[in-house]
Chain A
Amino acid sequence: MNENPATAVPLPSPTTLGSESRLFSWVATVDHKRIGLLYLFTALVFFAAGGIEALLIRLQLAVPRNDLLSPDAFNQVFTMHGTTMIFLVVMPTLIGFANYFVPLMIGARDMAFPRLNAMTYWLFLFGGLLLYFSFFAGGAPAIGWFSYAPLSETPFASNKGVDYWILSLLVLGTGSIAASINIIATVLTLRAPGLGLRKLPLFVWMNFINSFLIILALPALNAAIIMLLIDRGLSTYFFLPSHGGSALLWQHFFWAFGHPEVYIMALPAFGMISEVVPVFSRKPIFGYPFVAGSTVAIALLSLGVWAHHMFAVGMGRPLDLFFSAASMLIAVPTGVKIFNWSATMYGGAIRLTTAMLFVIAFLLQFTFGGLSGIMFAAVPLDWQLTDSYFVVAHFHYVLFGGSMFGVFAAIYYWFPKMSGRLLSERLGKWNFWLAVIGFNGTFLVQHFLGLQGMPRRVFTYPALPYWASMNMISTVAAFILGLSIVVLLTNIGWSLRHGQIAGDNPWQAWTLEWATTSPPPEHNFDRVPPVRSRRPLWDLAHPENPDSPIRPLPDETERPIDKNVAAIGSFILSEGFFFVMLIAAFIYYNVLQDQGKVPTLLDRVKTAVFSVFLFSSSFTLWRAEVNLARGRHRGFRVWWMATILLGLVFIIGQGNEYLGLFKHGVTINTSLFATTFFTLTGFHGLHVCLGLIGLMIVLALAFLGDFKTGRVEAVRTLGLYWHFVEVVWVFVFATVYLVGPVL
């Protein structure tokens, strides 16, 4: 038997919390299961808010020329509905499930960084509250969830709603990236002995891949909204065409995030489906490598096809054609998944539990939404249908009929594990059928409305033939859908007290989370069963007929990855993409647009000299690490101090350069060059400053006698970050000072 001490994470002892109040124990918790539940509960509250907004939209549109909501209120409501559902419901629900089940499914005791984990939850909660606070601070944002510039700029949206929207998304985005880094580090470093990456339960695998997608895609959003914030706060014009900015750049940046976001909301749901289908078909998943591999293909393809959201803006035929073809390609790996799930069900002993019913509905509805998505990849159809209700119908089929139905399946599947009690199947069937009727009733007719030309985001419509009746059908069905959610909530409330006791493994499932009690103890497992194949509990129950074992590869066993390195590596990857966006903006405005405004005020030579100081700090840092590794603590401290000094010299040089520019009257809103210059170099400077603070903390700790007996990894982690900051400067310097002026 494999005890699991190697993967255990030291946690504050639960007894220290026991004496506190129950509320405090939840607020102070770092247990991944409790944090997962907090995520799910909070997302449920926001789901109610977003649902009420949805019903308000439908009520306003129930009859032609309705005046229940004013145009502006309608704009606020659909903006808040979209933003809420995407950032405050679907993403946190998926992250919540990942939080609860990824450690359990890999036989770990907790996430790699429990306190970081708690932080991500609180970022989510307060990010959400920040968004909703805008209602009390002069009105919610009324710009649509993708916040197209210049509508979102001060001249067109002068109240504070957009600022709250930006700040909230920044907080939420930071939280999502942190959560993803945590998931990556957990999966890479805390798997039970024997559980190679090729044996991961598909839910874990898809969350793992999805985490990479999040850390790569969200920096695009963060960069874009920071630029928007600078526009609004410091009167610059990144996205204001009236002053030479580019509204199109916003669209490129936003959709560079927005398209992967669609898959960020879908991949974990695919993972849930991949867990539920085999268990209730009583067969192992059909073609595991294809399901897992197609996930990678989807993730990579999704990063490169964002421009298909922009067919209508006039990018030119070459761009349209290439992105049309590439977008259609995504159908291939997605189709592979649908076929694999269907093949898993084929010939299986299917148990039609509520969870399985939701999965079957998912398969049909998601395929339907996927097919209408392929229609949009055809440019002429896109031109005809864009900004109509056909789009609304399409993405609700993907996100509600797909992702949310996957989540419902997961709730019914995993609720027994989380609570120890089964959800009522009777109420579950009511929930399911009401949801299917309500969902399809609401959104199927919207396809026809869209084909007939009903534009989205317009607060009312004239009484054209059939429009009133179809809209009424949609509204009535939306309330049925709402009712199904009420049934779900009732079911949860009732079953928490009176539900049938579940036992450890009510579904006879095969993955590790079912090997412990329901709900699991704080430390998750007394013993982690041995993992030889992809279905460890099957092997345990059927020793006479076990699955073929898959041995871990030597890469996975001989060179274990340090969790700090895994985390800082992912963080650097994410930060790297953030800087790519900033550099891209600089190039876009100064090199590509050929405005001839690159000022001669920049002193290339002087900056080069100061850069030498920064680059040589990489060398001193390396010497410091070498000294530390050899146990020469004095040498370590001296080289470390040298690193700090060199970094300081660089920052002073940068400050000097800024002062020089200010003296010549160049500030951030003087020209687009100044805007992009200060944004890019400023953010790099900020990173250098943060690095310096980190270096100084380590130095102080070193003087206090730390790092003599261990914790060397903290030094190494910070060192990697510092090297990264310098590598970024190589690119920034090359772009701003070398290439920019030449071209």
Chain B
Amino acid sequence: MSTREFLLSAWTWSPVVLTACATGVIAYAWLWQAAAGTRGDAANLQIIAAKTSSTTRHEFNLLPRVFAFDLRVSAFLRQFPYKLLFLLVALAVFVLTLASPLEQLAEGYLFSAHMLQHLLLLLIVPAFLLIALPDDLVAPRQVSARLPLASDASPPPRSSTLALLLMGWTAGVGSMWLWHVPSLCNAAATSYGVRAVQTLSLLILGGFFWWPIIGPHARHRLSPLPGIAYLFTACTACTLLGILITFAPVSVCSVYLHPKDPIDLLPLIRDTWGLSARADQQIGGLLMWVPACLIYLSGILGLLRRWYKLGQVTMREPEASSQAA
């Protein structure tokens, strides 16, 4: 089998994955409807939805109306297209992770492919999903941006925040370490049921991990500087595991040492790609060591951006209030 043949043939359109995507879209639409409903913006939501739908006929027909309504569309709804983009990226990554040749490779052939899946499911998909959620499930965006300045915004009780933090951090870091305990790692590579549990747990735990950073509840978000510490320590913990895996002479997942090879893929991997089991495990460890940390670093840079933007809001504030007057 050549690389090209493999890449073209190894797609598995599992109904479970597709159903999950469809459910996700429906739930997402419902969420926006509900969020808009609570704000009396339901009609506008339909306009926006129509505006962003891909059929040209729709756009053509609605164009004048969209302009007419655009003035009335609140800032809350104006972010819908941008948010929708994040949802689409999250779903695309989700499908690529579980339906593409990556899935085939991860199923007992390549540890590194498994690791890539692991990182995408834990760090990328939940992050994009969280960003895609309507910001003001609780507090609208403008308020959230001004929140630290509003004197009446009572901070959440500290203990609950701390518990949330510890839980999120442990979820994100713990799921990485836990699923690389050799027996669990082997089970996930061979048994469909365990894999399903693993996938689901990674998505959920990833959501818990990102919640204090980019969750839709501004109230639950860590302020940027502690947020940086949160991500940095997670990065350290994940680096340590990556280093451990990279330099471990023994196999972390012994399944990948001698793949069973039901679809005769091994010659392609070992000979054409030149990937030995040892190099494979090293790449897996390195994925966790280097690129994973870059994901956290991106989060840190995002937090810095948010932090400095808080200043810009206050700069514009006098103008806004004078306009209001």
- What is A's interface to B at a CB cutoff of 8 Å? 197-198, 288-289, 292-293, 296-297, 300-301, 304, 316-319, 322-323, 325-326, 329, 548-551, 553-555, 580, 584, 587-588, 592-594, 743
Contacts and interface: CB of A to CB of B under 8 A. Distances in A.
Given A550-B315, A551-B149, A553-B148, A289 B290 contact: no
A318 B289 contact: no
B149 A554 contact: yes
B308 A198 contact: yes
A580 B293 CA distance: 18
A300 B149 contact: no
Contact of A322 (B249, B289, B297, B308): B289
Contacts of A743: 250
B246 interface: yes
Contacts of A325: 290
Nearest to A326: B290
A551 B249 contact: no
A131 B244 CA distance: 36
Given A322-B291, A553-B310, 14 more contacts: A198-B307, A293-B301, A293-B305, A300-B300, A304-B290, A318-B286, A322-B286, A549-B314, A549-B315, A550-B311, A553-B148, A555-B148, A587-B244, A592-B244
B282 A316 contact: yes
Nearest to A305: B290
Interface in B286-312: 286, 289-291, 293-294, 297, 300-301, 304-305, 307-308, 310-311
13 contacts: A198-B308, A198-B310, A293-B304, A296-B301, A297-B301, A300-B232, A318-B283, A325-B290, A551-B314, A553-B223, A554-B148, A555-B223, A580-B240
A289 B228 contact: no
A293 B283 contact: no
Contacts of A296: 228, 300-301, 304
B144 interface: no
Best-buried of A197, A296, A322, A326 by chain B (most CB within 10 Å)? A322
A304 B289 contact: yes
B282 A318 contact: yes
A197 B225 contact: yes
B69 interface: no
Given A296-B304, A318-B282, A304 B315 contact: no
B196 interface: no
Contacts of A197: 225
A304 B239 contact: yes
A317 B149 CA distance: 52
Contact of B282 (A319, A554, A555, A580): A319
Contact of A318 (B228, B232, B279, B294): B279
A633 B243 CA distance: 48
Contacts of B308: 198, 288-289, 292-293
Nearest to A553: B148
Contacts of B314: 549-551
A478 B300 CA distance: 43
Contacts of B248: 592
A276 to B, nearest CB: 23
Nearest to B235: A300
B192 interface: no
Closest 6 CB pairs of A and B: A289-B308, A318-B282, A548-B315, A322-B286, A550-B311, A293-B304
Nearest to A548: B315
Contacts of B148: 553-555
Interface in B219-265: 223, 225, 228, 232, 235, 239-240, 243-244, 246-250
Contacts of A551: 149, 311, 314
Nearest to A196: B311
B176 to A, nearest CB: 16
Given A198-B308, A555-B148, A319 B286 contact: yes
A461 to B, nearest CB: 38
Contacts of A289: 304-305, 308
Contacts of B246: 319
Interface of B: 148-149, 223, 225, 228, 232, 235, 239-240, 243-244, 246-250, 279, 282-283, 286, 289-291, 293-294, 297, 300-301, 304-305, 307-308, 310-311, 314-315
A296 B303 CA distance: 11
Contacts of A301: 297
Contact of B311 (A198, A317, A326, A593): A198
A323 B290 CA distance: 8
B88 to A, nearest CB: 27
A254 to B, nearest CB: 16
Nearest to A316: B282
Contact of B290 (A317, A322, A555): A322
A580 B241 CA distance: 12
A555 B305 contact: no
A553 B224 CA distance: 11
A588 B247 contact: yes
A592 B301 contact: no
A205 to B, nearest CB: 11
A584 B248 CA distance: 12
Contacts of A588: 247
Contacts of A293: 301, 304-305, 308
Contacts of A297: 297, 300-301
A510 B286 CA distance: 46
Contact of B279 (A316, A548, A593): A316
A634 to B, nearest CB: 29
A202 to B, nearest CB: 13
B141 to A, nearest CB: 18
A592 B281 CA distance: 14
Contacts of A326: 290, 294
Contacts of A587: 244
A743 B286 CA distance: 21
Nearest to B147: A554
Contacts of B289: 304, 322
B249 A594 contact: yes
B298 to A, nearest CB: 10
A300 B243 CA distance: 17
A555 B149 CA distance: 10
Contacts of B250: 592, 594, 743
A113 to B, nearest CB: 22
Nearest to B239: A304
Contacts of A549: 314-315
Nearest to A587: B244
Contacts of B239: 304
B293 A304 contact: yes
B234 to A, nearest CB: 12
Nearest to B151: A554
Contacts of B149: 551, 554
Nearest to A256: B243
A252 B4 CA distance: 39
A704 to B, nearest CB: 35
A156 to B, nearest CB: 26
B165 to A, nearest CB: 15
A592 B247 contact: yes
Contacts of B283: 318, 322
B303 to A, nearest CB: 10
A288 B223 CA distance: 20
Contacts of B249: 592-594
Nearest to A569: B229
A317 B279 contact: yes
Contacts of B223: 553, 555
A488 B235 CA distance: 45
Contacts of A554: 148-149
Contacts of A594: 249-250
Given A551-B314, A555-B223, A592-B249, A300 B297 contact: yes
A311 to B, nearest CB: 14
A10 to B, nearest CB: 28
Centre residue among A316, A318, A323 by max chain B CB count within 10 A: A318
A297 B225 CA distance: 14
A393 B309 CA distance: 41
A36 B314 CA distance: 37
